[in-house]
Amino acid sequence: MENCLFCGIAEGKIPSKKVYEDDTFLVFQDIQPAAPVHVLIIPKKHIATMNDVGEEDFAMLGELHRVAQKVAKELGIAETGYRLINNCGPDSGQAVYHIHYHLIGGTKLGALVESSDSHAI
Ligand code: 5GP
Ligand code: ZN
């Protein structure tokens, strides 16, 4: 997909700090970490949002959980805990329209819902 930031990162055209890579997935450091551990897990295939996931993609996204589990272990947050977050669409604040999962940990994370009209991660 042309003009997609994360396709550019997946293809190595845009530099990133890689944490894990295989034929299907790439994991790299978030440029603006929200916690001591904050990496992004992406499929190399361009899928814009969760809404665009097709029947043929679900098995692959299941495998993404295997990668998340492995990376969490390698980054030392498996036992202390972490969040795996997908933002989908405007209300979520999704900024990059190439599906990705934030793997966040390394500190005590705030409550998911802080009040009735706002939220934290
Ligand atoms: P979203 O809000 O779409 O779920 O999250 C996008 C994430 O991508 C943000 O956490 C942001 O810091 C990260 N990000 C944006 N541009 C870049 C970039 O060029 N490189 C890296 N490594 N992360 C980026
Ligand atoms: Zn893309």
pLDDT digits (tens, 9 = 90+) for 38-71: 999 999 999 999 999 999 999 999 999 999 999 9
pTM score of the predicted model: 0.94
**How far is residue 115's CA from residue 118's CA, in Å, rounded to a whole number?**
6
Q: What percent of the chain has pLDDT over 90?
A: 89
pLDDT in tens, 68-91: 999 999 999 999 999 999 999 999
d(CA 70, CA 90): 30
Residue 120, pLDDT score: 58
Ligand 1 pocket, mutate which of 11, 31, 47, 100 (most atoms under 8 A from CB): 31
The CATH architecture that domain 5-118 belongs to is 2-Layer Sandwich (3.30)
The residue type of 19 is V
Kindly list the domain boundaries of the chain, sorted by start residue. Answer: 5-118
In the 8-state DSSP scheme, what is residue 56?
G
What is the number of the ligand 1 atom nearest to the C-alpha of 102? 4
Q: Please report which residue ranges of the chain form alpha helices under DSSP H.
A: 5-10, 58-74
The whole-number pLDDT of residue 115 equals 57
How far apart are alpha carbons 68 and 103 in whole angstroms? 7
Residues with CB under 5 A from ligand 2 (ion): 1, 4, 6-7, 46, 98
